[in-house]
Structure formats: structure tokens, C-alpha cells
Amino acid sequence: MKFENQYKQLLMRCLLKGDEKKGRNGNTTSLFSENLKINLNEGFPIVTGKKIFFKKALGEFLWIWGGRTDIKFLNEYGIKWWDDYSKNGEVVKSYGYQVKNYNGEIDQIQLAFNELKNYSRRAVISLWNPSDIKDQALPCCYTQLIYNRVNDKLNLQVNFRSSDLFLGLPYDICVMALFLISMAKKLDLKPNILACNLTDAHIYDEHKNQVLEYYKRPNYTLPEFKDGKLENYKHGELIKAELIL
């Protein structure tokens, strides 16, 4: 099934069949254990029915992939949503730290790369580190990345403990697609399937009207990702809503 149709069906399934829950940041409608399986051969998986600021997704990817924790780098890409979670200009022991400096010593990207070179099924990147949670202003929402090599193709499964479906997930999918594309490039493989497993998939009450507005909009052909940029990204107008972390 095409990426954006899957995504829209997930949104409506959540609205129609989800359970009302009180969350840390407000009331939500929530589903347990949902998933998306996205074929990157159909194009780069960015939502087209509303505007997504790809530069921000790219900036967050580069921040994590590079093991960075500084807010200055994010701000250069127009990303402000981490500002409230920073201290002295740093987001302590969060995504980038766990990816490149797990327990102060392990570069998990290099570790996964080495495993995949040998066709291993142990190419796992862990972001949930119980020993560091006490130091984190916001524990990681996606907690594990598992790469899977099939001959000359590379797949990636991402496990989320929590997912804000309307605003957060579209950006997270872009970031995870870039994780898949970048690792595939390092290995001279073809990026293939991105699977997202969502433990708590939810829509905030204040986003419900915007979800319905987006659902009615047409989809456009997915763009291609080349040389660090999206080519032919056609999309609908921005739907204003506040990101809740």
C-alpha cells in the first residue's frame, strides 16, 4: 500500500477506534501496537497532503547521526522544539549521544555497519538506556533501530515507545528513512523497506480537527531524495498545529 494512504488510514483508525487516555502533555486518543511498512522504492516517504519542513527533518537526522547534542546546530536548521529540553546549550545524553557514544564508549552506527558487512542479524542500535534516563529531560521516543540485510537490499525496523501521529511521526519517518538511506550508502546497498512499530500511537485532542482537515486533502506523488535534497516535492498547504513533546 502506498505510504500516505497507510498513514491516513492509521490516523482515522486512531480517531474512530482509539481509547481516550490522559497523557503527560494532555488528553489523547490512543491505539496500542500499530505499524507501518513503507517501501522506499516508491519514493521518499514524506507527507504530501500538508507541508512538511524537510530541512528540519534533515537537520535533526544530521544531529543524531553525527552524535551531536548541541542546540546551536539544530537552531541553524530552524529547529526550536528541543530548546526547552536543553541545559547550557546541550540536550544531555539524548539521541545523538546514545547512537554514537552509548555508555560513553560505543559508536553504534559503526557497530551496525560492521555487522551488516558480515550479513549478521545483530545490526541493532539501542536508544533506550536505563542508566541515562535520569539525566535526560526527555527520554527517546523511538527506542531501537534494527537493520536487516537481504542480499543487495537493506531494510530497517524502528520501534517507538510513543508516537504523536499527526505532528511528530511524519518528521520521525523522514529521519528514519535517512537512517536507512545513509547506512545503505555506506554499504553500497539499496534502501528498501522501512517498518515502524508504534507501541502507543496517539492523537492529541487539540489536533483532531487538523487531522480531519488533512485527511480530506489529496496526496501527491512522492519525491526523490538525491544529493541531500528532495526533488519534485509537491505538497498541500501547511496545517498549523503545535508540536507536543
Distance CA 179, CA 136 (A): 23
- Lowest-confidence region among 78-87, 115-124, 214-223: 78-87
Known active-site residue 14: no
Please compute the mean of the pLDDT values over residues 18-31 and round it to a whole number.
91
pLDDT tops 70 at residue 244: no
Average pLDDT over every residue of 157-180: 98
Q: From the candidates 14, 141, 174, 196, which is the catalytic residue?
A: 141
- pLDDT number for residue 240: 80
Q: What is the pTM of this model?
A: 0.96
> CB burial class (10 A; 0-12, 13-18, 19+) of residue 237?
exposed
Query: Between these two residues, 25 and 233, which has the higher pLDDT value?
Result: 233
Q: What share of the chain in percent tops pLDDT 70?
A: 98
Say which CATH class 3-18+32-217 falls into: alpha beta
pLDDT band at 245, cuts 50/70/90?
Answer: low
Are 108 and 125 in contact, with CB atoms under 8 Å apart?
Answer: yes
Which range has the worst mean pLDDT, 60-64, 74-78, 86-90, 239-243?
A: 239-243
Average pLDDT, the chain: 95
Res. 202 pLDDT band, cuts 50 70 90:
very high
pLDDT of residue 197: 98
Spans of all domains in the chain = 3-18+32-217
pLDDT in tens, 147-162: 999 999 999 999 999 9
Chain center to CA of 125: 14
> Angle, to 10 degrees, between the axis of helix 54-65 and the axis of helix 168-187?
50
